Structure 1
């Protein structure tokens, strides 16, 4: 791939990032602060791959389609296409959200959090899949998309590309790319050399920014925001809901009790379908296990849980425990073994769980990697509203705990 055209003059750091494409890695993550040029460099990489390999297909996806269209398609992809190839050599197919180039190559845009888009974008095979702002995308969604990097174009080495403003060190991307461990099991990656990353920060892209962007905006942010958006550090989010959660609440499996007074579970529906299982001893709760999938029918998900032996109470295998389900699930609740409607009082449920943490009555098995990946970034925005990103295990956890406190349903 040649990037010598005068329409694109990469900075020194961007040139270093481009070298990663020649490293032999399959997965390449660019992370760092705001406006550091991460998206620009990866979009341009995709454009040049589409030019060089006629008939190839490439996917750029975010959590939500509307964000992918506004921040990637219209603000980055189309302007750079105009500069590099000219607007007469490609066509934007608006209805289907993809670019058709003169040589038969295609660049698709989509959202992995939008049901109406998922089947469409995952119905194709690709030579490049680029996960934009991957800190917002669940590991389950990324894993499903992995199977679509299967298009064969002679000479084209298929690649996964990622970028993000860093999240907390519990996020799956930090585990995989920085610690080089599996996101769900915390075991070493089988082929760590396939995963490489690089930090790009605003200071590395200062020549393309407004003169006062760093000094008057980034430098004046609160400490955690400054660390994330200026310095590219992996830190807990501002406004984190469970600020009282501490590392000592994470227990190795041999410290999880073998018997409980009773067991409950919480079930969240949607594209990211999740279940969290909770054991109770008195007024203390132990998150025993969690399980999640992406774009899976409820009945199939329930069958997988059944195959795992999920629905039997560890204390008395003759008794089924209640699974408190998202009340918006409707008929899907009937497809969950022991399924009953949950109490969805968000603020009251959060307050109760925070009180458990404060009283040292809340514990999480190290096996609950879904919960642990979300809990440090589960936050409120400036309007004090819960940020509805990567909250699927958090909802299931709240259903399992607070619904029992409110209802105390027992299933026989």
Structure 2
């Protein structure tokens, strides 16, 4: 079946990446640059070309995957390319069955029931849409499911995003070609490739005034991200004054007077360990997991020698009985705005530092932001919550050094 899709010159460059030896392919850039359409078309082609194959499109939330990918892109293009009578959408299961036995599944990695359902299958293609909203742990948890064997089909990971901060894990892996955790050079950098695609590369498919009247009039930081496709601090960044000079290597950490830790629960579970030297506060360690039990996560921390004697671990008070499964666990002070203000005061007085090995905290700190209505954006904030619990609850308990 011939697919009636005429790619732009930038999209043709992207298609050449699909034909390369790379296994991980990221398209990043500004808004409405055609990234999602192109990768959906690649996935449709693979589903048609390889009968009986299975493919996954996932975002943080299922409802967003259904609205922005399924209904706006995937279903319309299936109608245009193979016709509405040659596939069937199984709504209650969130997958499309094609005429040749291939399947295209839609899912969200931010919901436990969804994760268990979509990761119960193996796939030939996994496409992470808006991957900047997904944690490193969520994405790597899904990696093991790219294991379906279909004759002639080379299995692929596909990704797209509007760029986040230069501390985000996707920037480190795909642009800098370094390991997210260790920052060592990637063992096989040729497996990872990326391409910048911006709105100006997609002019034929945009309203005539979209760039000049909309994107060109955005605030400067948003223009850098959504028009130019640059990796920058998020607009409305909560910890705006945190700078790279506040990131220090492990060997430069001082001797600490005291330690606390903060614990966040949920599908993405995180713990942040904090050290105090005089008036200075240091984020010394962090650890996270995805779709694991609290008890298993606590065992991982024990194996790392995480828990010092009398280490208080201030936990999300909404954790209920899970707090009892954390060594030293106790309810945290969850006063959000006062906690943020306190951490900002530390940053402004040069009393706040993050160890370079704390990749979870660093990947979130510049993307932790507020929306246009001054509400905190609840995406990729698990380390930020744990960090706040650990730092601000210390003040609540009256632990002060002279």
Question: Normalized against structure 2, the TM-score is what?
Answer: 0.98
Deviations 1:157-190 (A, max 9, x none): 0000000000111010000000000111111100
How does 1:241-260 map onto structure 2 within 5 Å? 241-257=238-254, 259-260=255-256
How does 1:367-406 map onto structure 2 within 5 Å? 367-406=357-396
Q: Distance in 1 between matches of 2:354 and 2:205?
A: 45
Q: Distance in 2 between matches of 1:395 and 1:409?
A: 20
User: Which among 57, 61, 67 is matched to residue 60 of structure 1?
Assistant: 57
How does 1:4-403 map onto structure 2 within 5 Å? 5=3, 7-257=4-254, 259-312=255-308, 319-403=309-393
SS of the residue 1:310 aligns to:
coil
Conserved? CA contact 1:36–1:201, under 8 Å: yes
1:316 matched residue in structure 2: none
Q: Distance in 1 between matches of 2:187 and 2:42?
A: 27
Q: What's the C-alpha RMSD, in Å, of the aligned pairs?
A: 1.1
Q: Distance in 2 between matches of 1:194 and 1:252?
A: 28
Deviations 1:77-96 (A, max 9, x none): 00000011101110001011
Q: Distance in 2 between matches of 1:408 and 1:102?
A: 66
SS of the residue 2:274 aligns to:
strand
Q: Distance in 1 between matches of 2:214 and 2:294?
A: 45
SS of the residue 1:74 aligns to:
helix
Deviations 1:118-142 (A, max 9, x none): 1000110000000000000000000
Q: How many residues were matched structurally?
A: 400
Q: Distance in 2 between matches of 1:102 and 1:277?
A: 53
Runs of 4+ in 1 over 2 A off after TM superposition: none
Q: Distance in 2 between matches of 1:241 and 1:270?
A: 22
Conserved? CA contact 1:325–1:342, under 8 Å: yes
State the 1:271 CA deviation.
0.8
Unaligned runs of 5+ in 2: none
Q: Distance in 2 between matches of 1:227 and 1:90?
A: 40
State the 1:408 CA deviation.
4.4
Question: Normalized against structure 1, the TM-score is what?
Answer: 0.96
State the 1:409 CA deviation.
7.7
State the 1:283 CA deviation.
2.5
Q: Distance in 2 between matches of 1:389 and 1:152?
A: 34
SS of the residue 1:28 aligns to:
strand
SS of the residue 1:110 aligns to:
strand
Q: Distance in 2 between matches of 1:74 and 1:90?
A: 14
Q: Distance in 1 between matches of 2:62 and 2:181?
A: 27
SS of the residue 2:288 aligns to:
strand
Q: Distance in 1 between matches of 2:310 and 2:92?
A: 48
Conserved? CA contact 1:322–1:409, under 8 Å: no
SS of the residue 1:394 aligns to:
helix
Conserved? CA contact 1:264–1:279, under 8 Å: yes
Unaligned runs of 5+ in 1: 313-318
State the 1:12 CA deviation.
1.1
